[in-house]
Each structure stands twice: as C-alpha cells, then as structure tokens.
Structure 1
Amino acid sequence: MTDSQFDIAIVGGGLAGGLIALALHQRHPGRHIALIEGGTVLGGNHRWSWFESDLDKVGKALLEPIPQTEWDKGYDVRFPKYSRTLETGYRSMSSADFHEALSAVLPEGTLQLGRRAASLDAAGVDFEDGTRIAAGTVIDCRSFTPSKHLRGGWQVFVGRHMRLPGSHGVERPVIMDADVEQVAPHGNGGAYRFVYVLPLGEKDVFVEDTYYADEPLLDRAMLSSRIDSYSHAHGWDDHAVVGHESGVLPVLTGGDFAAYQDEVRIPGVVIAGARGGFTHPLTSYTIPIAVGNALAIAEKADLPAERLAEIMESRARRHWRSTGYYRLLGRFLFFAADPDARVNVFQRFYSLRKGLIERFYAARSSRFDRVRVLWGNPPVSIFRAMTAMFKRGKPLKSEKTA
C-alpha cells in the first residue's frame, strides 16, 4: 500500500542523510522531502568534530542552523615523548543538537522517524509494516555494512559526557592523548590507544577512549573502566553522566571498490554516506566529506534519479582513488608496526607542520604533504614498510561486542 508521494526520499537519518535533507531544503524549499529513520531520533548517539579550516564559507553556512561548540584557541596532543598545542580552531556538534535543529528547520512531515525500511528501489521505499512511500528520487544513506570486498582494521571507541560539580580545568580540546598505556580494547595484545577530551562547558567534559585495533571487538565494560581510571587521574571522580556513545568504525587498507559498488548498488537509487564509500579511510573524520556531498546533491537535484545515481557513483570512485594514499598509511600502521608500537607512527606525524595535519584530516593532502609524511626518519623499519605496501589486510567482518 502506497500512503505518500514525495519528490525525494532519503533513507537513513544519520549525518549524511540529515545534511542532504538540510541542503535540499535550503536550496529547494518547495520540494516535498522525506527523511526516513528507523530510530526515534536523527543522528543516533554520536558526536562529530572537525577543524575550523575544514569547511569553506558555503559549508559553514550549511551547518549554521545546528548548535556547535567552538574552540578558537587551538587544540592539544600528547605523546610519550612530547606534548604540543596547535593553533587551529576546532568544532564539535552532538547528535542531540543535530536532531533538535533539523526537527525545527525542516518542514512538517519531512521527518519519518521510527519507520524501518524493508527494501528500496528507484520508485520508493517499502517499510516493515507493509506500507510504502513513493518518490521521484530515492537516496540511500543507510549505515555502512562490512563487506568481503573491503579490507582493513578497526577504530573502536567508547565515550562519556560527564558533568562535574566544579571546573574540570581543561582549556582546549585534547584530540589525541596517547601518553596512556598502549593496550588492546579487549586486554589481549596491543593496539594504538589514545584518549580524546572535549571541554564542552566549564563543568562539562567529554572523554572518549579510542583504539586502532586488528579486531572489531567492543568491550564496553572494559573501555568504560579505563575512562574511570583516566577520570580518576584527572580528579574527575565525582561526576554525573550526561550521555554515552560507542562505536566500531572501519579503517580501510585496501579492497576491490568496484566489486563493493556492485554489491551495494540498487538500480536508479542514489547512494551517499559511508555506505557509498564516502569516508576518510584512516581517521574516520566525516564532516568535510558529508558536507561536500550534501551540497553536490542539492546542486544537481533537478537531474533524473538515474543520472544523479551515476554521478554519485562516479564521485565515490574518484574519492576512492584520491584517498589511496591514506589506505597506504593504514597498511603501514597495521602491518609495518607492532600493535603496541603504533603510537610511534602518530607521534612522528604530529611533529609535522600544522597545515599538513589539517589537510590530512580533511583528506586534502598536497603532493608535498604526502612526500613529507613519508620522508625522514621513519617510525617503522624500511623492510616492514615495503612489505606492508603489498598487503591489503583481512576482509572486514562484523562488529563483536562483549
């Protein structure tokens, strides 16, 4: 049974889907858009952060309706051999603010929450309850699912938003505190571990324990206990828990992207977000990519759905080719460095120039940047680095939870 007709139906209310809906509304306010999300809120339970330099004026304008926490005094990194403050501004937004802002901005009837899609095609979306939405264009922004055609490791994390009775004393974000024990998230073997700290207010602080690990094992209890230990070391024992987040994200080191596109393709359906391959292979920073895709789709929304689907597939292939360098570095990280020595790779990287680091996170490294990262005293042996160049890693498997 078809119960509604829309110009555009977006399936998946995460970052990619939400920003596409926002960009379409801003550029085409008369379009009848459906933003479909199986959960009860947009964005799930996440926090997205980025460097102030990641977005141009148009990109910043897209995000303007969404509340953001801003730090203009730079950010800190900490490693066993040094600490450093970099002057670039930093930005962050929560999924709660993302949901509230889009709920207020998008026209009534746009949000289709708590509706799980059973299937989709070029003409509409079928739901698990037997109903259907018809649409002139369908955009698939559902979550990334592991594939045998993609290879790599994993970024595993648990975060906690805490409210203290007094000031936490943190002036700037600490986007990488790697001066911590380098131990795997499941307590067996090594991993690259760091703690991420955001001062969200005078008494509010967000602490996330993150690992670059070989297996997608998320042991929430263990990682939560390590946040307890980190908080205790900073005098934050007495606190109220405002919120949690956790996740397992792929760190891509190789694969057959054409075969992956064949696997996820639905004829005539536009694919965006992580499912379409639009990720940073190494850092998982997604804001610049998601903003760029949202603006591109809004600009070309007048095209037939089949043509728009082809354009986004081509855009994904260009993105895959342009980010091959980061997959190479991922192979160095996972295959050339022993797990408990991976910290040396990042320790050396963060000693480089500020602009190079910014461009790296935005997946916009120049040719000179790429040479500079690899040039000099390498943090891994030349032999192991050469061997790692020809490895691709294990096929990505599903998340394991303990």
Structure 2
Amino acid sequence: MSDAQFDVAIVGGGLAGGLIALALHRARPEFRIALIEAGKTIGGNHRWSWFDSDLSVAGRALLHGFRQTGWDSGYDVEFPTHRRTLKTAYRSMASHEFHEGLLRDLPKDAVMLGRKAAALDARGVDLEDGSRIDARAVIDCRSFQPSEHLYGGWQVFLGRHMRLAQPHGLERPTIMDATVDQVAPHGNGGAYRFVYVLPLGAHDVFVEDTYYADDPQLDRSALSSRIDAYTREHGWDDTAIVGHEAGVLPVLTGGDFAAYQREIAVPGVTIAGARGGFTHPLTSYTMCVAVENALAIAEEADLSGQQLAAMFEARARKHWRKTGYYRLLARLLFFAAKPERRVKVFQRFYTLREGLIERFYAARSKPLDKMRVLSGKPPVPIPAAMVAMFKRGKPLKSGSVKDSPQTDISTETKA
C-alpha cells in the first residue's frame, strides 16, 4: 500500500526536521512535503534556547512565526568566585510552541503524527503500519544514534516549568548558576553541575538541573529533589507544574567520524540533525546549525535525493572538521579536570570577552578566540592537560544508557 508521491519526506519531527519542513514550504510552497513523526506531537518534550546573535537575518526570519520568550537585557552567570551579567539578547522556545507554529504554517496534510518509520530508502519510507510514503527525496532527522565509533561523556538534565504563587522578581535568565553542590546525585563521584533558570512570565519560571558527567545515569528522583531544594532556597512556592523535560546528551571528545557515517548511512538518504553529527560537541547546542541546514536544503530544493544526500554527507564532514577545537576542549574538561573541579574551567571561561563567548556557543570561534581560551593560567594541571589532549574517552555505545524508568536518552538537544 502506498500513499501519493511526495517531493520530500522528512523522518523525525524534532527541531531539525520541523525547521527543514518549514524552510522548504516557505521557499517552495508548491512542494508536497511529508513530515513523519512517531510521537503525538512535533518536537517531543523539550525547550530550546539560543543567543539572538547566533542567527543570520534569514535565520531569524525562519523562526519569526513561532511564539518565543525573549530577554533583550541579557543573562546572568554565577560561579563560586565570579558573577557576571552579559548583554547578549537571549531567546527560548518550548516544544509545544514549536508544534503549534508548524501546524499553523505547514499544509494540513504535511504533518503525519503517530506514524513510525520502519525502513528508509532513497525513494521513500516504509511505515510500521505497513503503508509506504513515496518521495523524490528522503531526509533522515531521527535522533542521535550512539556508536562505538564516537567517544565522550554525557550531559544529563532534568527541568521543570513551574507556576508560582507569588511573582519571582527575576529580570533575566541565569543560564549557569554553578554555586550549587558539585557532587553527582547518584553517588559516582563529582560532575560539573549548574542550574539553569528562565523567568518565563511574572509567575512562571523554568528551572533545570544539569550535569557534565562521566556516565549517562539520569536519576529523576534525585534531580527532582535537588530542584525542590533550589526553589525552596529562593523562596519560590510553586502552585502548579506546567511542564518538564529530561534527557541525556552526548558530549563528544573524539571518534572516527567516517566510520560513524558509514554505520548510519542509507544510500541516497540525506541525514541531518544530531544524527548526522550536526551539533556542538561540547555544549550539545544545535539551534544555529539546525537553522542554517534548513535554509541550505531549501536553497537546494531542486537537487535529486542522491545529490542532496551527497551534499549533506560532505557538509557533515566539514562540520566535524570545523568543530575539532571544541572536542579538544571537551577532552580537557573530562580528562584533565577532576569532576568536582570542572566548575573552574567554566568559571574561567566566563571571565573572557563577551564576543568570544557568543562566537564559542555558535561554534564560530576565531583563531584569536581559540588562543585566548587556552592562554593564561590554566584551570587544569598542565601535565594532565597534555595527557588529555591524546585521550579518546569511552565509546558512546547504545548500551551505555541503561533502559530503565530512571534513564532517558534525549532525542533532541536542549539548546
């Protein structure tokens, strides 16, 4: 059984897949697009945040139709011996806002929810219900696939959107409050821990507990208790929990990317999103690269499926080479600094110039930026740093994240 022919079938309705569908529809409204998502909503259960300076004019235009929360007054960071307000405007969008915006802007028959792909090929998608979507081009935007060819650590997080009884009085987000206890919640030693706070309205606040940890264990109960303690400390009495997110993300320290590409490749199928390697290795940040990839696909919409797949395979290799510096920094973080002292690495980083910090998060660091990050008094021992430069780390294999009620592998990056 086959549905009608589509110009493009996109498998995976997360950030990458949804933005590609939107960019294609705006550039080529005559195209028949299928956005295929196994879940009941587009975007899952996530919150994405970004710096306004990360996006080009075209990128801001692509996101313009979505409901967002913004802070033009900048954001705060807090560390044990350093506090700072940075002036860069900050933006945030919840997955339900992404879902609503795409349903509003895309053709009614373009979004296919609750339909899971069983197999992909260059000419279409076989669904688990036995039906098939035929398409001239197929784009795979499913979640990151752990692999023995990639190495690194993990970013573990749990966030809660609360509605408070009284106004919280916050003017700006705090994107890193690292004054909190640096011990991992599950008893396996230390981790770089910070709390992320977004004032979403006068009574609404989003609080997230995040760890850069050696293992991917997500103990929801422990992290939830720590959020309870944090909110009590700030005098925030929540009357309702509006939403939440939780997940485990890879922090890449190295690997054989060519072997990884061979492992996930489907001949003639374009691979985009985190699955294709389009992420910031150290921060797991994807918004700016997801936007630019969507615009690139829309610009080359007339390419055949084979040509588009080849273009994105080369684009992924270029992105891997470009982000090698950040994998080096990830090695220094995980292998040169003791877990409970990783906070010093980030504390020193946030003493640097604001423009350097902006470019870092967008993976656009200039040569002088890179030198400045590594110069001066190092926050890690020099001998340990020299050894760390040549370490690979643990393979990010599929078995690394245990399948249990307390552990979840995130399908999207959170920022």
- Aligning the two structures, in what range does the TM-score lie when normalised by the shorter sequence? over 0.9
Using the TM superposition, give the Cα deviation of residue 392 of structure 1 relative to its aligned residue in structure 2, in angstroms. 1.0
Q: What are the superposed Cα offsets for residues 221-266 of structure 1, whole Å, 9 maximum, x if unpaired?
A: 1100000000000011333100010010000000000000000000
User: 1:178-197 maps to which residues of 2 (within 5 A)?
Assistant: 178-197=178-197
Q: Which residue of 2 aligns with 1:36?
A: 36
Q: Is the 8 A contact 1:228 1:237 kept in 2?
A: no
Do the aligned residues in 1 keep the contact of 2:176 with 2:196 (CA within 8 Å)?
yes
> Structure 1 CA distance, aligned partners of 2:327 and 2:230?
31
- The question of whether the paired residues in 1 share the 8 Å contact of 2:2 and 2:132 is answered with yes
Contact 1:332 1:389 in 2 (8 A): yes
- Whether the 8 Å contact between 1:75 and 1:173 is mirrored in structure 2 is yes
Uncovered stretches (5+) of structure 1, i.e. residues with no partner: none
8 Å CA contact 1:185, 1:217 repeated in 2:
no
Distance 1:301 1:269 in 2: 14
Q: Distance in 2 between matches of 1:92 and 1:17?
A: 18
How far does the alpha carbon of each residue in 1:81-110 deviate from its partner, in whole angstroms, 9 at most, with x for none? 021000110000000000000001001100
AA in 2 matched with 1:331: R
Cross-structure match for 1:394: 394
Read off the aligned partner of 2:345 and give its amino acid letter: V
* Larger displacement relative to structure 2 (184-193 or 98-107): 184-193
For 1:352, the aligned partner's letter is: L
Identity of aligned residues (%): 71
State the alpha-carbon separation in 1 of the partners of residues 289 and 56 from structure 2.
12
Aligned equivalent of 1:331:
331
Matches within 5 A, 1:148-159: 148-159=148-159
Moved more, 297-306 or 250-259: 297-306
AA in 2 matched with 1:159: G
Aligned length: 402
Counterpart of 2:244?
244
| 1:399 positional shift | 2.1
SS in 2 for 1:104: helix
Deviations 1:23-61 (A, max 9, x none): 000100000000000000000000000001001111000
- The letter of the residue matching 1:60 is R
CA–CA distance in 2 between the matches of 1:187 and 1:234? Answer: 25
Could you tell me which runs of 5 or more consecutive residues in structure 2 were left unpaired when the two chains were aligned: 407-415
Question: SS of the counterpart of 2:357?
Answer: helix
Aligned to 1:280: 280
1:278-300 alpha-carbon deviations (Å, 9 max, x no partner): 00000111110000000001101
Displacement of 1:188 after TM fit? 2.6
Superposed CA RMSD: 0.7
> For residues 356 and 349 of structure 1, what CA distance do their matches in structure 2 show?
10
- Per the TM alignment, residue 335 of structure 1 is displaced from its structure 2 partner at its CA by 0.1
In structure 2, the partner of 1:11 is 11
> Matched residues in 2 for 1:29 and 1:394: separation?
45
Distance 1:3 1:9 in 2: 12
CA drift at 1:183: 1.0
SS state at 2:238 partner: coil
Give the corresponding residue for 1:27: 27
Aligned 8 A contact 1:74 1:90 in 2: yes
TM-score of the aligned structures, taking structure 1 as reference length: 0.99
d(CA) in 2 for partners of 1:391 and 1:91? 36
Alignment match, 1:136: 136
Shift of 1:166: 1.5
Question: What amino acid is aligned across from residue 74 of structure 2 in structure 1?
Answer: G
**1:185, 1:191 within 8 Å by CA — same for their partners in 2?**
no
- Who is 2:106 aligned against? 106
Alpha-carbon distance between aligned partners in 2 of 1:187 and 1:227, rounded to the nearest angstrom: 17
Aligned partner of 1:382 in structure 2 is 382
Q: Return the alpha-carbon distance in structure 2 between the equivalents of residues 19 and 188 of structure 1.
A: 38
Moved more, 254-263 or 176-185: 176-185
SS at match of 1:218: coil
Tell me the distance in 2 between the aligned counterparts of 1:135 and 1:353. 48
SS at match of 2:168: coil
Question: How far apart in 2 are the matches of 1:164 and 1:344?
Answer: 33
1:253–1:330 Cα contact (<8 Å) kept? yes
SS in 2 for 1:189: coil
What code does the residue aligned with 1:266 have?
V
Name the SS for the 2:99 alignment partner.
Answer: helix
TM-score (norm 2): 0.96
What SS does structure 1 have at the residue aligned with 2:148? coil
Q: Distance in 1 between matches of 2:185 and 2:270?
A: 36
1:365 and 2:356 aligned: no
Q: Secondary structure at the match of 1:144?
A: coil
- How big is the shift at 1:170? 1.2
Structure 2 contact 185–222 (Cα < 8 Å) conserved = yes
**Partner Cα distance (1:78, 1:187) in 2:** 25
**Aligned mates of 1:364, 1:83 — CA distance in 2:** 25
Asked if the contact 2:162/2:238 (under 8 Å) is kept, the reply is no
Q: Secondary structure at the match of 2:379?
A: coil
Task: String of CA shifts for 1:120-161, please: whole Å, max 9, x gaps.
Answer: 100100011111110000000000110000000000000000
